[in-house]
Amino acid sequence: MTLDRKDLKLLAERRYEKGAVAKGYNMRTLHIDMGSRLATEKTVSPEMKRKFVGGKGFGLKLLWDGTKASTTWDSPENEIVIAMGPICGNTNYPGSGKSLVVSLSPMTGVPIDSNVGGYFGPYLKFSGFDALELQGKAACETIVFIDGNEGLIQFYESPADIPGDTHLLAELLTHAFARDEKDLQSVAVVSAGRGADHSPMGLLNFSLYDKRRQGIRVKQAGRGGIGTVLRDKRIRAVICRFKGVDQNSNDAADPAAVQRIGLKLHREIVKNDDLQCKMRKQGTAHLMEVMNDYDLLPTKNHKYGQDPKGPEIASWVWEKLLSQDLPDGCWFGCTLACAHAVDRFELETGPYKGQKVCVDGPEYETAAGVGSNLYVYDPHGILEINFYCDTYGIDTISFGTTVSFLMEAWEHGILDKGKTDGIDLSWGNWKGAIQILHDLADGKRFGVLAGKGTKFLSQHFVKEYGADAQFMKDIALHGKGLEQSEYISKESLAQQGGYYLTNKGPQHDEAWLIFMDMVNNRIPSFEQKAEALHYFPMFRTWFGLQGLCKLPWNDIEPADNAKWGEPNKVPEHVANYRELYTAITGEALSPEELILQSERVYNFQRTFNVRQGFGHRKDDYPPYRAMGPVLEDEYEARAERYDKQMKEKIGVDPAGKSVKEKVAITRTHRMKQYDSLIDAVFKRRGWTNDGCPTPQHLREIGMDLPEVLAVAEKRMAGGA
Amino acid sequence: MKYLKTNDERCVGCMGCASACSRMYFKEDNPAKSRIQVNGIGKNAFHLIACDQECRKCVQECPTQALTVSKTGVVTLNRSLCVGCLACVAVCPIEAMRYFPGDKNPFKCIACGTCVKACPKEAIEIAEKDESDASRAWERIIALVAKEERA
């Protein structure tokens, strides 16, 4: 199918005065109401810039203002906000092209934020806007087009026969909205996929045109169902065209400094990457065997962290499959280049069976989530699920964790072929998993039920199939409704907090403390863990304020990193970031202010949760599978470890105790430990024992907007 | 392929080449803006650096394909496509890809011969050499991933 822009039905358009970025900011955002097809500019006030910085901060602020306490994910006033941040779009420092997307999540009911590559965000910024709000619901399927060179915003009716799946849709739209062949790289498309029409775990695909592959690639704003919100608004795609990115499109205060800091990291990567993470060859899949070796690679719904079959999907397997020696960055100038792909991959199932496609990935989370966690050690199966998840617009993490839950339910006889429309969900059967995915995309059969996610299913099986309620709760790997990402957190209390003492649910964006805590035992006390659960979430939030990727922070390190104090923080890179911020914005940034920038937004987000009726202590507990052995055979498989802990840490002699007793003793102990951790973390973060930021703390950090204080004061006074 | 062949032993460090080059492309006499570099490596000893046109790591690394190989085998930069990321500068094994702080685009030797005329000692010349495995690597990589109907 080909598509000509001229043949599309134009519904509305408006012109806008092109702005100019000054020191990283436009000081202007764009609001689009899908219902009335109106596009309105909003000025960014100095106060908004000071308190929210940019990126996720701007996104959350605009989302707060646009919604109410009663707003749900499918309310017309719910928004999708795509925001960038001052550092976003520079081409010198690797990892500088991220868009931050926020929305009220269909999975959790609270704001989700997702960090994504692709060209849309930087192009939108250079088109004159620091953020884009999409609000309201369109009367018909709509394509929104922003031409940053023309200063033009257009609304088109999406043709009825346009393909819904991203690998076709984004390709078609890229060609339709590019001026000519030479203009293809100037077009970036945000779209979902057919799966997002039928499941709350729908994602957004952000495209980039790959000149060497002569086709589009996609990066995912994967978590929390923002693609589902896009489809609920009847938005088929949002397109931004911008031609003319150059070294100083950000109008940096000191462009030479941006070059110098960026080139320093480029060189560090070129020199050290092969000796460190091999991101340029393997991407994040370099982690596979490391995680398997340390008993951290999710296996059978996080029951175990290791399997002898692990090496079958190790990094070296992926290195052979991934195309090599390509500049696979998701934004210009990212020499860490982790956005690899498997090219000319022949599909074995589904509507595109027999076709050769380009598979974006797999990243670590995908290879673990739809691989080992499903007991799938066939790289082909992983790639097939990876491809279809992407093109259907389904989050691989939520999908993987949900199917692993289903497979465990199958193992325990809660599910059978009569309940799955004939699909065999035995461990390792990737063809069963992918059948669910195809059905989900078609909106039929068991796929629709399965697509509702782990939280829903765990309750559904109790109600409909009489499954044991406690068991279902224990093995449903979700927090707040969002599926946990793919690390075993059982032996790291700090990581349990890293996952579950989070604003948006268990992801690995905020804190990854397993090595520091479990392997290296650097943070043994509750206070030390709490300090880490303060510093790292705050520091990592900062990437989202700036439009940065976190990977070049610690997936590449200076060769002498270990000799500095606190090597876990990669101090030289923190210094790079502060310098880079100053070079672009012209404003100094002390280490304390860096953390404060994040702390304001982090506490704002927590208070946002409170406003929506969440943000209680009870919302922050993990399912027990994330904390310890649920089942007796799970205990027995690591009996030596657990028995030793019982003797040394709990002070109980395991001798003569039944496995059932030992499971119970371990469980009681670990639950208590977690409670103590919450106490310490909430205290360190300046929150009440129930998890609400205190008005005093909000004032101290400068998040003292009256509407924010009012929410905290109301909760403190015992209100909802 | 055409390239600038250097002979360090003949170089006396007069900087005539660097001067001619920077005047040609930047309209100023500034060795930091020269596409050929003259490095002192001891008493009366010099090492000349200019792109050998052969490794083409920069062509491989460029995200916008602003760096391409011309019909004569010379690696050239299309400034209108260049986003100034400097990845090419980082991957160049001999630091022949240059940039001047604050200028948007990097620059490199394109074997134009301007410096040759300025050299009093015949330490540099425009020469020809054959394509090699290394020089064709960038093409082989693309052939493996480009859409098959066009490959």
Identify whether residues A467 and A513 lie together within a single domain.
no
CATH architecture type of domain B2-145: 2-Layer Sandwich (3.30)
The token pair that represents A698 in the structure block: 């909000």
Find the mean pLDDT for residues A149-159.
98
- Element housing B96 (H / E): none
Of the residues A241, A265, A287, the one at which a domain ends: A241
Chain A residues with CB-CB distance to B82 below 8 A? 246
Identify whether residues A513 and A471 lie together within a single domain.
no
Do you find a cis peptide bond into A693, omega within 30 degrees of 0?
Answer: no
Can you tell me the distance from the alpha carbon of A613 to that of A608, in angstroms, rounded to the nearest whole number? 9
Q: How far is B73 from chain A (nearest CA, A)?
A: 19
CATH number of the domain to which A313 belongs: 1.10.569.10
Q: Domain range spanning residue A67?
A: 5-241
**Chain mean position to CA A236:** 21
Can you tell me the distance from the alpha carbon of B92 to that of A271, in angstroms, rounded to the nearest whole number? 12
Strand segments (E) across A352-402: 356-360
Can you tell me the distance from the alpha carbon of A155 to that of A5, in angstroms, rounded to the nearest whole number? 12
**Half-sphere exposure for A304 (CA within 13 Å, toward CB):** 20
Contact partners, residue A605, CB within 8 Å, separation at least 6: A60, A111, A113, A503, A504
Contact partners, residue A713, CB within 8 Å, separation at least 6: A695
Identify whether residues A562 and A614 lie together within a single domain.
yes
Residue B148 contacts A, CB cutoff 8 Å: yes
Residue B144 contacts A, CB cutoff 8 Å: yes
Can you tell me the distance from the alpha carbon of A45 to that of A91, in angstroms, rounded to the nearest whole number? 27
Find the mean pLDDT for residues A373-394.
98
Identify whether residues A278 and A413 lie together within a single domain.
yes
Chain B residues with CB-CB distance to A243 below 8 A? none
Of the residues A441, A459, A483, the one at which a domain ends: A483
- Element housing B60 (H / E): helix B57-61
- By C-alpha distance, the chain A residue nearest B149 is A214
Predicted local confidence at residue B149, as pLDDT: 57
**Beta carbons within 10 angstroms of residue B141's beta carbon:** 17
The SS3 call for residue A562 is helix
Radius of gyration over every alpha carbon of chain A, rounded to an integer in angstroms: 24
Of B87, B148, B150, the CB nearest to A335: B87
CATH number of the domain to which A183 belongs: 3.60.9.10
Whether residues B87 and A215 touch (CB distance < 8 A) is answered with no
Predicted local confidence at residue A718, as pLDDT: 85
Determine the residue type at A106: P
Can you tell me the distance from the alpha carbon of A619 to that of A108, in angstroms, rounded to the nearest whole number? 10
Identify whether residues A581 and A662 lie together within a single domain.
yes
Find the mean pLDDT for residues A650-676.
98
Q: How far is A476 from chain B (nearest CA, A)?
A: 40
Percent pLDDT > 70 in chain A is 100
Radius of gyration over every alpha carbon of chain B, rounded to an integer in angstroms: 16
Question: CB of A427 within 8 A of CB of A411?
Answer: yes
Identify whether residues A476 and A540 lie together within a single domain.
no
Test mutation, A183, A209, A211, A273, chain B, max B CBs within 10 A = A211
Q: How far is A549 from chain B (nearest CA, A)?
A: 16
What is the DSSP code (8-state) at residue B101? T
Residue B63 contacts A, CB cutoff 8 Å: yes
Chain B residues with CB-CB distance to A327 below 8 A? 60-63, 87
Of A106, A153, A238, A93, give the one whose Cα is nearest residue A578.
A93
Chain A residues with CB-CB distance to B84 below 8 A? 91-92, 246-248, 259
Can you tell me the distance from the alpha carbon of A558 to that of A62, in angstroms, rounded to the nearest whole number? 38
Residue B60 contacts A, CB cutoff 8 Å: yes
Whether residues A327 and B141 touch (CB distance < 8 A) is answered with no
Mean pLDDT of all residues in chain A? Answer: 97
Whether residues B145 and A259 touch (CB distance < 8 A) is answered with no
Of A350, A396, A394, give the one whose Cα is nearest residue A373.
A396
Place of tokens 């951790």: A677
Whether residues B86 and A266 touch (CB distance < 8 A) is answered with yes
Chain B residues with CB-CB distance to A267 below 8 A? 90
Assess whether pLDDT exceeds 50 at residue B151.
no
Can you tell me the distance from the alpha carbon of A199 to that of A225, in angstroms, rounded to the nearest whole number? 8
CATH number of the domain to which A645 belongs: 1.10.599.10
Whether residues A332 and B64 touch (CB distance < 8 A) is answered with yes
Can you tell me the distance from the alpha carbon of A385 to that of A434, in angstroms, rounded to the nearest whole number? 6
In a domain, A661, yes or no: yes
In a domain, A30, yes or no: yes
CA dihedral (A310, A316, A322, A326) in degrees, to 10, reads: 150
In a domain, A31, yes or no: yes
Find the mean pLDDT for residues A90-107.
98
Taking the CA atoms of B122, B124, B125 and B131 in sequence, report the sign of the dihedral they define.
Answer: positive
Find the mean pLDDT for residues A414-418.
98
Of A71, A69, A55, give the one whose Cα is nearest residue A131.
A55
Q: How far is B70 from chain A (nearest CA, A)?
A: 17
Strands B124-128 and B2-6: antiparallel
pLDDT in tens, A552-579: 999 999 999 999 989 999 999 999 999 9
Question: What are the beta bridge partners of residue B39?
Answer: B47
Find the mean pLDDT for residues B21-41.
98
- By C-alpha distance, the chain A residue nearest B103 is A256
Question: CB of A371 within 8 A of CB of A397?
Answer: no
In a domain, A219, yes or no: yes
Question: CB of B47 within 8 A of CB of B39?
Answer: yes
What is the DSSP code (8-state) at residue B64? T
The SS3 call for residue A468 is coil
Identify whether residues A231 and A309 lie together within a single domain.
no
Of the residues A464, A483, A502, the one at which a domain ends: A483
Predicted local confidence at residue A508, as pLDDT: 86
Whether residues A259 and B144 touch (CB distance < 8 A) is answered with no
Can you tell me the distance from the alpha carbon of B102 to that of A255, in angstroms, rounded to the nearest whole number? 6
Can you tell me the distance from the alpha carbon of A487 to that of A475, in angstroms, rounded to the nearest whole number? 15
Chain A residues with CB-CB distance to B146 below 8 A? 212-214
In a domain, A263, yes or no: no
- By C-alpha distance, the chain A residue nearest B95 is A267
Identify whether residues A678 and A705 lie together within a single domain.
yes
pLDDT in tens, A220-230: 999 999 999 99
Of A392, A420, A390, give the one whose Cα is nearest residue A407.
A420
Residue A325 contacts B, CB cutoff 8 Å: yes
Of A259, A326, A341, the CB nearest to B99: A259
Number of separate domains in chain A? 3
Identify whether residues A211 and A294 lie together within a single domain.
no
The token pair that represents A3 in the structure block: 């598509």
Q: How many helices (H) and strands (E) are present in chain A, helices listed first? A: 27, 17
In a domain, A189, yes or no: yes
Can you tell me the distance from the alpha carbon of A73 to that of A112, in angstroms, rounded to the nearest whole number? 11
Question: CB of A238 within 8 A of CB of A144?
Answer: yes
The token pair that represents A662 in the structure block: 């030992």
Test mutation, B57, B77, B86, B99, chain A, max A CBs within 10 A = B86
In a domain, A232, yes or no: yes
Contact partners, residue B69, CB within 8 Å, separation at least 6: B56, B59, B75, B76, B138
Whether residues A211 and B60 touch (CB distance < 8 A) is answered with no
Assess whether pLDDT exceeds 90 at residue A275.
yes
**Beta carbons within 10 angstroms of residue A44's beta carbon:** 20
Question: CB of A172 within 8 A of CB of A3?
Answer: yes
State phi, psi for A335 to the nearest 5 degrees. -80, -10
Whether residues A213 and B145 touch (CB distance < 8 A) is answered with yes
Of B62, B102, B105, the CB nearest to A327: B62
Can you tell me the distance from the alpha carbon of B90 to that of A709, in angstroms, rounded to the nearest whole number? 49
State phi, psi for A318 to the nearest 5 degrees. -70, -35
Assess whether pLDDT exceeds 80 at residue A196.
yes
Find the mean pLDDT for residues A509-537.
93
pLDDT in tens, A447-462: 999 999 999 999 999 9
Whether residues A326 and B146 touch (CB distance < 8 A) is answered with no
- Element housing A82 (H / E): strand A79-83
Can you tell me the distance from the alpha carbon of A54 to that of A74, in angstroms, rounded to the nearest whole number? 26
Chain B residues with CB-CB distance to A266 below 8 A? 86-87, 89-91
The SS3 call for residue B50 is coil
The token pair that represents B31 in the structure block: 């060795």
Instruction: List chain B domain ranges.
Output: 2-145
Residue B89 contacts A, CB cutoff 8 Å: yes
Determine the residue type at B121: K
Residue B146 contacts A, CB cutoff 8 Å: yes
Whether residues A332 and B63 touch (CB distance < 8 A) is answered with yes
What phi-psi label fits residue A283: left (phi over 0), alpha (psi between -120 and 50 degrees) or beta? Answer: left
Identify whether residues A499 and A468 lie together within a single domain.
no
Percent pLDDT > 90 in chain B is 96
Can you tell me the distance from the alpha carbon of B63 to that of B71, in angstroms, rounded to the nearest whole number? 21
Strands A356-360 and A152-157: unpaired
Residue B91 contacts A, CB cutoff 8 Å: yes
Identify whether residues A437 and A563 lie together within a single domain.
no
Can you tell me the distance from the alpha carbon of A223 to that of A217, in angstroms, rounded to the nearest whole number? 19
* DSSP per residue, A524-544: -SHHHHHHHHHHHHHHHHHHH
In angstroms, the Cα distances linking A482 to A626, A662, B62, B125 are: 14, 30, 38, 66
- By C-alpha distance, the chain A residue nearest B105 is A247
What is the DSSP code (8-state) at residue A613? T
Instruction: Decide: residue A514, CB within 10 A, 0-12 exposed, 13-18 middle, 19+ buried.
Output: buried
Find the mean pLDDT for residues A652-668.
98
Identify whether residues A114 and A141 lie together within a single domain.
yes
Strand segments (E) across A323-377: 341-346, 356-360
Place of tokens 């063809």: A431
In a domain, A707, yes or no: yes
- By C-alpha distance, the chain B residue nearest A344 is B145
Q: Which residues of A541-571 are buried (b: 16+ CB within 10 A; e: fewer)?
A: bbbbbbbbbbbbbbbbbbeebeeeeeebbbe
Assess whether pLDDT exceeds 50 at residue A205.
yes
Q: How far is B86 from chain A (nearest CA, A)?
A: 7
Predicted local confidence at residue B150, as pLDDT: 42
Find the mean pLDDT for residues A594-605.
98
Residue A262 contacts B, CB cutoff 8 Å: yes
* DSSP per residue, A225-281: SHHHHHHHTTEEEEEEE-----TTTT--S-HHHHHHHHHHHHHHHHHHTTTTT-HHH
Of A203, A525, A239, A243, give the one whose Cα is nearest residue A365.
A203
**Beta carbons within 10 angstroms of residue B146's beta carbon:** 18
Whether residues A91 and B64 touch (CB distance < 8 A) is answered with no
Percent pLDDT > 90 in chain A is 97
Strands A131-135 and A28-33: parallel
* ipTM for the predicted complex: 0.96
